[in-house]
Amino acid sequence: MKKIINEAGNVLEEMLQGFTTVNQALIKRIPETSVIVSRKIADQVGLVSGGGSGHEPAHAGFVGDGMLQAAVCGQIFTSPTPDQILEGIKAADSGQGVLLIVKNYAGDIMNFEMAKEIAEMEEIAVEMEVVDDDIAVEDSTYTQGKRGVAGTILVHKILGAAAREGKSLSELVVLAEELIPAIHTIGVALSGATVPEVGKPGFLLEEDELEFGVGIHGEPGYSKQKMLTSNEIVEEMLTRLEAVTPLTKDKQYAVLVNGLGSTPLMEQYVFFNDVANQLGAKEVEIVFSKVGDLMTAIDMAGVSLTLLEIKSADWLDYLNQPVTTVAW
């Protein structure tokens, strides 16, 4: 293992110190916690997300005006504890309630639900929405049902804009329950991720292999294959996506190409170009697109492809609204 770290057990603490210092104009850390909050908590419904670390810039990179008010950072690939989540809820609450945006992993759901119950006992109105956008496999290593992956960032963006606009907690819940089923993601890995305290990759692929459907913690995918071209990879992923969302010429889509940690932007843009060309051949209109490392898996090589069918003009408006965050 070759990593630019000190002690493997101190990575989270030292990362949070560095992240907070370099971005202190936008965010701050609640003392004695791993909770990152916006410097200015607006008078609106507070949005809180989080999960295990190792997916940077998610989720702390999306704290700020127009997205999240707080992000709770667990240990690497480990859910944050209920007491930490509770601190995030309290910090994000301006009196209009708090919406928790949680990826579909058993530990995350259990701990966020526990924090929600405690906050409600303290008379904070809290709702929780679970994102399960990964179509690759069901009932994976840490998940009942589908996993929550990079599409979660689009939920942050759209709900964040709606909250800033003044929508109530109940209105945001309705929006989330319309939005989340329209988001679909699939990933491909060229190499595994190495958790510092483990010291070796979570899985191994041969030099000429890739794996479709791998999760952001290295959960198994659905197919190992010999290495393919970018165009062939896109063809396989769009075929899978088309089985769950109609790629027809009367549809408009937002497209997110997300790097998993070790894939250069050069390759991500090649990949996006193939996505755009293949969707163009189907006469599908791409009305919003984004490329970059938004939800990584430490140092995994690979990408994920997220399609969001735009079912409301408001969704597109919310995606295009400017925000003040570290990573969007």
Helix residue ranges per DSSP H, the chain? 11-22, 82-92, 106-121, 151-165, 169-179, 230-242, 265-281, 313-320
Do β-strands 126-131 and 98-103 pair in parallel, antiparallel, or remain unpaired? parallel
Contact 202, 215 (CB under 8 A): no
> What pLDDT shows up at residue 240?
97
- Rounding to the nearest 10 degrees, give the CA dihedral for residues 305, 311, 317, 323: -40
User: pLDDT 10s digit of each residue in the chain, 328 long?
Assistant: 999 999 999 999 999 999 999 999 999 999 999 999 999 999 999 999 999 999 999 999 999 999 999 999 999 999 999 999 999 999 999 999 999 999 999 999 999 999 999 999 999 999 999 999 999 988 777 778 999 999 999 999 999 999 999 999 999 999 999 999 999 999 999 999 999 999 999 999 999 999 999 999 999 999 999 999 999 999 999 999 999 999 999 899 999 999 999 999 999 999 999 999 999 999 999 999 999 999 999 999 999 999 999 999 999 999 999 999 999 9
- Class of 183-320 in CATH: alpha beta
- Rounding to the nearest 10 degrees, give the CA dihedral for residues 64, 67, 68, 74: -100
Give the Cα separation of 301 and 261 in Å (integer).
6
Do β-strands 70-76 and 98-103 pair in parallel, antiparallel, or remain unpaired? unpaired
| Active site amino acids | 55, 217
The domain 12-181: what is its CATH number? 3.40.50.10440
Angle at 102 between CA 3 and CA 164, to 5 degrees: 105
Q: Which burial class, exposed, middle or buried, applies to 287 when counting CB atoms under 10 A from its CB (0-12, 13-18, 19+)? A: middle
Q: Which burial class, exposed, middle or buried, applies to 131 when counting CB atoms under 10 A from its CB (0-12, 13-18, 19+)? A: buried
Contacts of 313 (CB under 8 A, 6+ apart): none
- Which 3 state secondary structure label does DSSP give 76? strand
Q: Parse the chain into domains and list their residue ranges.
A: 12-181, 183-320
> What pLDDT shows up at residue 318?
98
Residue corresponding to tokens 């606009």: 165
- Which 3 state secondary structure label does DSSP give 65? strand
Residue 68 DSSP one-character state: B
